[in-house]
Amino acid sequence: MNKEASKVDLAQIRIALCGLNRQVLLPVRSELMSIGYQGTEWIRSDEELRRWIQTGIPDLIVADHQLDEGAAIRTVREIRNGDLGENPFAVVIMTTWANDPENVRAAINSGVDDLIVAPYSTGQLLERIQKMITDRKPFIATSDYVGPERRRDPSRESNIPTFEPPNTLRMRQEGEKVDTVSLKERIAESNMQIKEEKLRRIGFQISFLVDLVLPKFGIGEFNEETVEHLERLARMSGEAVQRLEDTKYAGISQLCRSLHKLAQRIAADPAQSSPDDVELLKPLSRAILEAFYPSESTGDLVDQIAGAISSYNDRKSRFTGK
């Protein structure tokens, strides 16, 4: 961090250091404050973090993933989805003492910008913070993820668009003059872009799940995986209903509501589901898909879904050996 930076500007940056390890966090807080980051708070619980997030626009959150037995992961996910606080794009660095892949994966999938495996030095953390100012990754939105684009191979083709979210940490660090009203407008505009892309990905996921489960009804075989897919279909369509308000897709909320109720009924007992209900799944899912992708042909979309199902089955075969 640049010790020559203006202390007046840096004092406006809101930073939360979250965790119970005072031997690590207090020296970091002291170092940050000595540089000029006077708005640095030491936060000891997830409840306290959630209150802090709602008292202003957060710029940087450094959180131990085990804060309140992993509650910080849920909190980060809510921030990214726009369900908590005024800035879904706050820089988030998560720290972890866990060395098992499952915990590390859960932390990364919450939408954090960076993950630091403990033990780490104050200098290492400060270097990561600086990288978030100068070299932050663009964001993507999928049906179940909002956060930095994490492809290892940037040359690998992807049809998921990327977004450059407002980086209030960088803005304030560089002394960019942005009043609160203008800043909130920029955040709201970017958040709507992310929200609408997430809805489109949910629409794609809905048709993907329907095409994945329908063959099971043709042969009358329903295993645990089929039920999981149907329950996910109900969750996805229900989430679409919740997020459609105030977007340009608000007009299809009734379609999503109908599919949500239909999927719930079928998932409750697939073997006893009404043939009429099952028959409605495809036309409803296709109508939703076409509404979310009005500029693309249905044929192209169906081809993309078929490709996604083929890739899914290939990965499943490699994993199970079947």
pLDDT digits (tens, 9 = 90+) for 67-121: 998 899 999 999 999 999 999 999 999 998 877 788 888 889 999 999 998 888 8
CA-nearest of 106, 95, 116, 96 to 73 is 106
CA-nearest of 255, 213, 256 to 238 is 256
- Give the model's pLDDT for residue 269: 94
Residue 93: strand, helix, or coil: strand
Which phi and psi angles does 205 have, rounded to 5°? -65, -35
Please say if the pLDDT value at position 11 is more than 80: yes
Between 176 and 280, where is the model more confident?
A: 280
The CATH number for 187-320, chosen from 1.10.10, 2.60.40, 1.25.40, 1.20.120, is: 1.20.120
Please say if the pLDDT value at position 154 is more than 90: no
Please say if the pLDDT value at position 1 is more than 70: no
Domain assignments of the chain as residue spans, ordered by start: 7-178, 187-320
Task: Please state which architecture CATH assigns to domain 7-178.
Answer: 3-Layer(aba) Sandwich (3.40)
For the chain, what is the mean pLDDT? 91
pTM for the whole structure: 0.89
Angle at 92 between CA 103 and CA 81, to 5 degrees: 85
Which two tokens mark 106?
A: 């859960």
Tell me the pLDDT tens digit for each residue of 228-243: 999 999 999 999 999 9
Between 260 and 151, where is the model more confident?
A: 260
- Give the model's pLDDT for residue 93: 96
Q: How confident is the model at residue 153 (pLDDT cuts 50, 70, 90)?
A: low
| Region label for 70, one of left (φ > 0), alpha (ψ between -120 and 50) or beta (otherwise) | left
Please say if the pLDDT value at position 205 is more than 60: yes
The amino acid at 16:
A
Alpha-carbon distance 173 to 312, whole Å? 43
